[in-house]
Structure 1
Amino acid sequence: MNTISILGCGWLGKTLAISFINEGYTVKGSTTSEEKLELLEMNGIEPYIVDISDFEEYDSFLNSDILIIAITSKDVDGFENLIAQIQESSIQKVIFISSTSVYGKLNKVMTEEDAVLKLPLTEIENLFRENTFFETTIIRFAGLFGDERQPANWFKNGKKIPQPKGFVNMIHKEDCIEIIQEIIAQNCWNETFNACSNHHPTRREFYTLAKLNNDFEVPKFEENEVYEWKIISSKKIQEVLDYTFIHDDLLRI
């Protein structure tokens, strides 16, 4: 399997595509913007315009061995159409990038065995999980950061940060890319994984340090909210893939 299509070459997808090219893969990458086609091509990515909400046919883009879905769309109908096309394509394996937002704040540690909220995202997960024409692994990433996506820049203009006593669930871009590569390298399919740093400082501790280290003022917090939190467990992915996080101390980054 040496051809990979990446649906969504944005903040994560473009860097991921470049990492696979460096490993010797042929990579097709999609965007919804005509202006970004040249940028993808400059990085060695075979560029395509793909918007799943348009219900067009993507035969050439799907002429690959592996499909990685890295778009934020929650268009259930669009995904149903995409899946119908995948079934007719050469795609054998799919990685669907989901989110730990599927878990409610139940004041407990959340694992892959816990119930999820009834959301378009969980409905889309099930569409892929239940399909028997190809094999899918679902990765539920925690809050994404790295490069230009820096937590110090969040909650600007005096906006108060909610749940200061709650806990941070985050994962660095480098770990996201390494985990995706390991899933393919280890041929690990038909799984659902949480992916989140093991370190869970309080939101007050994390955002205060992030702001001060970047010369911002001490942030303001919502102090009188009902205490709600969750801690995302990544124990399963670490055990199955024998994975060690690159960025596992959120207060040192």
Structure 2
Amino acid sequence: MQNIQENNLKEISVSILGCGWLGLPLAVSFVQKKWNVLGSTTSKEKIEKLKEKGIKAFLIDLDNDIFQSQFFKTDYMIVCFPPRLKKNGDSSFLEQIEKVCSQLSVNKNIKVIFTSSTSVYPTENRSMKETDADSSHALYKAEQMLAKSVNERLTVLRLSGLMGYGRIPCKYFSGKKKLTNGETPVNYVFRDDVINVIEAVIEADLFNQTLNVTAAKHPNRKEVLENCSERTEYIKPEFIQPDQVVPFKIIDGEKLNGLLNYKFKYPNPINFPY
């Protein structure tokens, strides 16, 4: 895999659609690399906050058809706004992606990274590779829509459960009792690693790919939550032995390792800093 020349990287522009919990620190990291960074927000109040961090801020509101064409005149776009499928439903998210695709179609050279999720995989008590996705899942449909729009210029990153910086696993189970999923393996990834992988994909010009992004180790939930509780203020949950096997899946990250040779900063969720 040939990396892009360093001089060319200094001249690139990157648009980040969704400067939230992941998108904002990603944008800041790009700014630190001296890249030309464009960031979107749905909030007028957040415009100045983005500008203060060296980000060219744009108001983009997919639900209300508010676009700025300059935002899409860029070398790379990272699509990383949360789908909110449980709150708004599949159709609302897919309508948003359709609007993104209509804007992307005017730029025939743009390369796109879509931060999807490993929730596209069914829970079948086995390891899940990139070819195992549920084709009926809204995120999978979104991936296909984007692929049709930009063809080989898309790379899909299916992220495991995002952790770090306020997202603490034991926070969500603090003090709970009679949990039956203590023996199921976790699929987590730390935010720093996601940011580093996205940067590495751009630097390696690794497109026309679908890749799982997950920490290499998959300790069981009980180990992770008990260790997390011991290091934080959250109350250790209690587990009981289930009557039958609790469904699980293990996300396989070998394809990314083979293509990108990325070394994870936090390969084991037990050692994630909180």
Q: TM-score, normalised by structure 1?
A: 0.93
**SS of 1:109 mapped into structure 2:** strand
Who is 1:72 aligned against? Answer: 82
Who is 1:147 aligned against? Answer: 165
Q: What is the Cα deviation at residue 242 of structure 1?
A: 1.1
Q: What is the Cα deviation at residue 164 of structure 1?
A: 1.6
Aligned-partner Cα distance in 1 for 2:180–2:54: 42
Query: Which of 239, 247, 250 lines up with 2:266 in the alignment?
Result: 247
- The verdict on how the C-alpha distance between 1:34 and 1:40 changes in structure 2, with shifts beyond 3 A counting, is same
Aligned-partner Cα distance in 2 for 1:11–1:57: 22
**SS of 1:89 mapped into structure 2:** coil
More moved, 147-156 vs 92-101 = 147-156
**SS of 2:149 mapped into structure 1:** coil
Q: How many equivalent pairs are there?
A: 253
Greater helix content: 2
Aligned-partner Cα distance in 1 for 2:43–2:179: 33
Question: Is residue 194 from structure 1 mapped to residue 204 from structure 2 by the alignment?
Answer: no
Question: Is residue 14 from structure 1 mapped to residue 24 from structure 2 by the alignment?
Answer: yes
The alignment's C-alpha RMSD in Å is 1.9
**SS of 2:225 mapped into structure 1:** helix
Residue correspondence of structure 1 range 1-253 to structure 2 within 5 A: 2-73=12-83, 75-89=93-107, 92-116=110-134, 118-132=136-150, 135-156=153-174, 158=176, 161=179, 163-221=181-239, 223-224=241-242, 226-253=245-272
CA contact (8 A) 1:63 1:91 kept: no
Q: Which runs of 5+ in 1 are unaligned?
A: none
Aligned-partner Cα distance in 2 for 1:133–1:123: 14
Aligned-partner Cα distance in 1 for 2:135–2:181: 20
Question: Stretches of 4+ moved more than 6 A in 1?
Answer: none
Q: Which runs of 5+ in 2 are unaligned?
A: 1-10, 84-89
**SS of 1:9 mapped into structure 2:** coil
**SS of 1:53 mapped into structure 2:** coil
Identity of aligned residues (%): 32
More moved, 114-123 vs 221-230 = 221-230
Q: TM-score, normalised by structure 2?
A: 0.86
CA contact (8 A) 1:139 1:193 kept: yes
- The verdict on how the C-alpha distance between 1:171 and 1:49 changes in structure 2, with shifts beyond 3 A counting, is same
Aligned-partner Cα distance in 2 for 1:44–1:69: 19
Q: What is the Cα deviation at residue 156 of structure 1?
A: 3.8
Aligned-partner Cα distance in 2 for 1:239–1:37: 39
Aligned-partner Cα distance in 1 for 2:126–2:15: 37
More moved, 225-234 vs 237-246 = 225-234
Aligned-partner Cα distance in 2 for 1:15–1:239: 26
